[in-house]
Amino acid sequence: MITVERQPKVPITDIEQSAFCRTDESLEAKPLIEEFKAKVEWQPLPKDYMGLKPDELSDRIAVARAKLGDQLMILGHHYQRDEIIKFADYRGDSYLLSQYAAKQKEAEYVVFCGVHFMAETADILTGPNQKVILPNMKAGCSMADMAPTEDALDAWADLSAVVLDGLIPVTYMNSTADIKALCGRNEGIVCTSSNATEAFQWAFRRGEKILFFPDQHLGRNTSLKLGIPVEEMVVWNPFKPLGGLTEDEIRNSKVILWQGHCSVHTRFTVKQINEAREKFPDVQVVVHPECVQEVVEAADMDGSTEFIIKVVEDAPAGSVFGIGTEINLVSRLAKENPDKTIFSLDPVVCPCATMYRIHPAYLAWVAEGLVAGKVANQITVNEDTAHYARLALEQMLSLKRG
């Protein structure tokens, strides 16, 4: 089977990424009716929530949460607004939150303040008695959207016809449950930016070639760390027959990278790094491995959000950091480490447009609904998909974390 050429389609979430960009550094929430002016897709809410100010929403969330007690667990990704993070029982990157979801079996309701694929993962890892809720159903992920199920299945079929043995599928956490299940069905694994190196090593112990979904930059940067030359990597374009590759190119490669990217991390440039070094000669530049290869190579360090946090927190007073990752995390690090100079490499403030859709109004709405006995926005993964996705996730959770 050779896939036919398709018309390229840019995910709507990628197109919308610039909607919240601004030149000032204020990230404070506004009443939702004002934020609706951003030209993005929002989940409609009852009118009662639209005009409430952040402090009013905060009070209502606190009251609802107190009434629910141990029935409710709130997970907050580092990229969330401060108005959300302050209510999180656990905050972390996708790896840590996956671990929390797998271990916490008592809370009846798990409200995941993140994006859709994270809530899917939580549903896969939590118990059958637990309900996972995503406050805003429009909080997706442009990177995950770049690897639709049909395209991924077609690619696996095409590649399996060329590579008869030794092809191991590896998917980044930022992917749908269907893609994780594809890996589980084919003896593959899930990884995060925290453990991508270990996941690649795990895969190469079991096969000779990796198909990596969906972020080509994390896949490329991880491969380079393992000593794999760029010449032994190819990019699979899902819109072209056989990914735009020849059979020889596929056979001669060690890593096949899906053509996907993060809309936030590809904003960072070598020019921004050079400008930071000119302004602050002692700056330490730390970036996320979803950045492009040239940016990672120009930086002093690269690593996951948890890695970036640890580097900053462990540094002595007076340290200067230029950071290449999502602005809510960078701003929070600056607030929590006032004895250090911490700034984003990108002078234009661009929060993740999908994470940013978890406005406090949505958290108030789902929490008050639970108090009234109504479950809104429950995320469920069908049993078959969940079974195979869980196999790949459990392989990841068994890895020694780097």
One DSSP character per residue, 161-214 reads HH--S-EEEEEESSS-HHHHHHHHHTT-EEE-TTTHHHHHHHHHTT-SEEEEES
Q: Which of 252, 254, 169 is nearest to 209 (CA)?
A: 254
Distances in Å between the Cα of 359 and the Cα atoms of 50, 74, 185 are 11, 14, 36
Report the Cα–Cα distance between both ends of the chain, in Å, rounded.
Answer: 39
CATH code of the domain occupying 29-140+354-371? 3.40.50.10800
Give the model's pLDDT for residue 41. Answer: 86
pLDDT digits (tens, 9 = 90+) for 70-114: 999 999 988 888 999 999 999 988 778 877 877 878 899 999 999
Backbone angles phi, psi at 234, to 5 degrees: -130, 155
- Report long-range pairs for 2-9 (Cβ below 8 Å, ≥24 apart): 2/158, 2/241, 2/242, 3/151, 3/154, 3/155, 3/158, 3/238, 3/241, 3/242, 3/243, 4/241, 5/239, 5/240, 5/241, 6/151, 6/238, 6/239, 7/239, 8/239
> Which one-letter DSSP state was computed for residue 378?
B
- Predicted TM-score (pTM) of the model is 0.90
265-344 fold: Rossmann fold (3.40.50)
Burial of 268 (0-12, 13-18, 19+ CB in 10 A): buried
Distance, in Å, from the CA atom of 176 to the CA atom of 389, rounded to the nearest integer, reads 9
Q: Do residues 146 and 155 touch, judged by C-beta distance below 8 A?
A: no
Q: In this structure, what token pair is assigned to residue 41?
A: 């897709």
Question: 368-391 pLDDT, tens per residue?
Answer: 999 999 999 999 999 999 999 999
In this prediction, residue 370 carries a pLDDT of: 98
Domain with CATH 3.40.50.10800 in the chain: 29-140+354-371, 265-344
Residue with tokens 């108005």: 83
pLDDT tens track, the chain, 402 positions: 455 555 555 454 444 545 555 545 556 788 999 988 877 889 999 999 999 999 999 999 999 999 999 999 999 988 888 999 999 999 988 778 877 877 878 899 999 999 999 999 999 999 999 999 999 999 988 899 999 999 999 999 999 999 989 999 999 999 999 999 999 999 999 999 999 999 999 999 999 999 999 999 999 999 999 999 999 999 999 999 999 999 999 999 999 999 999 989 999 999 999 999 999 999 999 999 999 999 999 999 999 999 999 999 999 999 999 999 998 899 999 999 999 999 999 987 666 777 889 999 999 999 999 999 999 999 999 999 999 999 999 999 898 654
Name which of 299, 237, 258, 218 is nearest 7 in CA terms.
Answer: 237
A 10 A CB-CB count for 358 gives: 26
